[in-house]
Structure 1
Amino acid sequence: MSTTSRTIHRVVVVMGVAGTGKTTIGPLVAEALGVPYAEGDDFHPEANVAKMSAGIPLDDSDRAPWLDAIGRWAHTRDGLGGVVSSSALKRIYRDRLRAAAPGVVFLHLTGDRALIEERMAARKGHFMPTALLDSQFAALQPLQDDEAGVAVDVSGSPEEITERAVAALRRLVV
């Protein structure tokens, strides 16, 4: 990768619908920025994983403890930097994360629905079924102008996506 290793000392939340590559791109962005990565799915309570595994979408009350756990992690990384994945589909979820860690910035992974569904169907061992993709797109509220963040298209290789993401984040945070 041709990115430089200059660290960004803010926490980056890699967001987007299921299948956009948060778990693939997040660690690559963290490595390029020289900061630790935390997998957002690891913050889900067992009840949430069971619900999603059964093909039942989470509601806002299900997401609250998950978002709070991610927010606590982001708060501990304030000033040190880090990357964490979280769908953060709705503005209220991002507001909750910002309330816990005001300096977070968002990296919204976006893309063509057909490409995302294809990638989602190809992944192995993940609890989120493709049947929930429609509910993800229905809930998605893209970043608004007053939110610190960037949107990056997920077409191309993981390395290409990471290059675009890191360049956009550096422009945003510098």
Structure 2
Amino acid sequence: MGVAGCGKSAVGEALAATLGAVFVEGDRLHPPENVARMASGEPLTDELRAGWLDAIGRRIAASIADGQRVVAACSALKRGYRERLRGFCPDLRFVYLEIDPETARRRVGSRKGHFMPASLVDSQFATLEAPTADEHAWTVDGTGGIADIVATILGELRTS
């Protein structure tokens, strides 16, 4: 979880491959209306995110029900969003990939073919509620290399 440009997709794919898990890309589950809004520079409201979060939660729950491990990439910017996802899977753990606004703007601005414009980065930080200790979440520096971030997450998984 984290703001746009923090590395959720790249880290999630690498972690899923390492764990032999299914990877759920949350961005692919946005309804077309949400994608169009964001592409035009309009941030999503809580109401617009609700169905999207439910789609991710259902996909995670279905994978677990099939006996699979699952890693999902999803911004989950607010505590309420994370609680909504936990409604589908109470044991869900979050990894918060923490980055600064300048790094996020630079990364998002350099992406090719993604609907999220760099102009929305500030709205992501304005919405962000970093996870607290009671949320079963780990905060990891998202500015490192993917392999280093995955190694850190694996270390957390081994000790939890």
Task: Report the count of equivalent residues.
Answer: 158
Alignment check: 8 A CA contact 1:32 1:166 kept = no
Q: CA RMSD in A?
A: 1.2
Alignment check: 8 A CA contact 1:150 1:169 kept = no
In structure 1, the gaps of 5 or more residues are: 1-14
Tell me how far 1:169 sits from its aligned partner.
2.8
The equivalent position to 2:4 in structure 1, one of 18, 31, 35, is 18
Where does residue 141 of structure 1 map in the other structure? 129
Tell me how far 1:31 sits from its aligned partner.
1.0
TM-score where L is the length of structure 1: 0.86
Alignment check: 8 A CA contact 1:74 1:104 kept = no
The equivalent position to 1:59 in structure 2, one of 45, 65, 70, is 45
Moved more, 163-172 or 135-144: 163-172
Where does residue 115 of structure 1 map in the other structure? 103
- 1:83 correspondence with 2:36: no
The equivalent position to 1:43 in structure 2, one of 20, 26, 29, is 29
Whose helix proportion is higher, 1 or 2? 2
Alignment check: 8 A CA contact 1:18 1:136 kept = yes
Where does residue 124 of structure 1 map in the other structure? 112
Distance 1:72 1:147 in 2: 20
TM-score where L is the length of structure 2: 0.94
In structure 2, the gaps of 5 or more residues are: none
Q: Tell me the SS of whatever aligns to 2:72.
A: strand
Shift in CA distance, 170/150, structure 1 to aligned 2, threshold 3 Å:
same
**CA offset digits 1:96-119 (Å, max 9, x no partner):** 000111121101100222222211
